[in-house]
Amino acid sequence: MYAQQATVLCDLTVPPPAIDDSFPHVKLLEQLSEADAQLVEQFLDSRTVGSSDCSKSRPSEPSVDIPEYRSDLREALLLLASLKQSKIVLDELLTSSPDTESDAIGWNMETERTEQIKELLSAKLSTLEDPARTRVLKRKLAVRRKKRNWQKRRNLRLAEDRKKLLADREKRQQEIAAWEAEWRKRLEQEQAAREELAAKSAILADVRWRKARAKRYLRRFEKTIQLHDQRTMIDETDGANTDGGNIPEERFQRSIGSLIDEWKKKLSDCVKEEKRLKDELARRSTGNESRRRENRWRKALFGDASASLNRIGRNPLDEFVKVRRAWDVYALPNNTDQPHPVSQGSAVPFGWVKPPDDPLPEWLSYRVNREAKRAISIAR
């Protein structure tokens, strides 16, 4: 046999048998499936045993409905009240007239009614006083009490939050009202300033018109004088009689002189009024912002110009040095990193002190960007 197999295996004309190189192997898969089935059966058996033990050890508790329990308790109270009434009736029958047939019938009926009420009341009390039912009822009442307490706390918290919200809303409304009032006041002030500026511009235009009229009349007077001089020269060349002619000439010179003086006075008044209005309008214009800033710097460094009149007994140079040192101390405080801290602000270098990149709020008004400078130069 082995020789035949060897001859078959060694026969080169016959192809070799197919090799099962699949993974996992078929037999291995069968073994794994059988082992999985056994594990599942063991798990199910243990599960059923445990569930049966739990069901035996933990009996189901009776379900209790609080409204239903309340209705049962109300019925029990009604039965108790009717039982008390029956007892009162029986007491009255005992203390009433002697025994008669009607009294005996009433006594029997009342006793039967009392027995029925007792049976109903005992049955109702037995259901109400069930330990399992009372335990479940206590647990439900405790849960309801906790829930109601939580709802009360929640309602109080919501009420407080609502009060805070209303207070915040009222505060915001007050802030908004104050902001609106402030901006309304600012708008009114700006409108009043614009109206005043427009009125002064109109007055300036009227002053310029009166100035131009005064100049026009003065030019007419000059032409009148020139024409009068030419006429007198022509009359003199023609040989006209000049006797007694000085009186009209004097009258003419006097009248034309008074007119010229009057219109020159009007012209000077118009020039003064125009200069005053121009200065006032220039102070309020945006083109002179840099000049106003320089004036503020000059006032901060050297004080008000009106105060310089009272400096007769003091040295202005010493006062300037004092003000400059105080200003330098404010501009550049003492540096603690230096070995010898410098006092009186003498650490400020010569020339311009450039402001820092993140200046304080009081320094922001003195920073001018290039666009603002260009706008100011264009306005000028």
Domain co-membership, 300 together with 205: no
Judge whether 145 lies within some domain. yes
What pLDDT was estimated at residue 251? 82
| Per-state percent for the chain, helix, strand, coil, to nearest 5 | 80, 0, 20
Cα gap 295→366, rounded to integer Å: 12
Indicate if 228 and 264 belong to the same structural domain: yes
- The verdict on 210 and 135 lying in the same domain is no
Given this model, what pLDDT does residue 305 score? 55
The answer to whether residues 136 and 186 belong to one domain is: no
Supply the range of the domain harboring residue 90.
66-159
Q: What is the pLDDT of residues 82-103, one digit of tens each?
A: 888 888 888 887 777 556 667 6
Q: Cα separation of 249 and 245, whole Å?
A: 7
Do residue 88 and residue 154 come from a single domain?
Answer: yes
Dist. CA 246–CA 252, nearest whole Å: 10
pLDDT of res. 50: 53
Residue 165's pLDDT is: 92
Residue 174 counted as domain residue: no
Shared domain check, 222 and 129: no
Note whether 196 and 105 are same-domain residues.
no
pLDDT digits (tens, 9 = 90+) for 333-348: 555 555 454 444 455 5
Work out how many domains the chain is built from and give that number: 3
Q: Is the pLDDT of residue 309 over 50?
A: no
Same domain for 275 and 223: yes
Q: Is a pLDDT exceeding 80 seen at residue 286?
A: no
Contacts of 32 (CB under 8 A, 6+ apart): 24
pLDDT for res 52 = 54
Is 196 a member of any domain?
Answer: yes
Q: Which of 50-64, 229-243, 257-271 has the highest mean pLDDT?
A: 257-271
The per-residue pLDDT for 146 is: 92
Of the candidate ranges 210-214, 252-256, 281-285, the one whose mean pLDDT is the lowest: 281-285
- Looking at every residue in the chain, the average pLDDT score rounds to 75
Give me the residue label for tokens 């050297």. Answer: 302
185 and 90 in one domain?
Answer: no
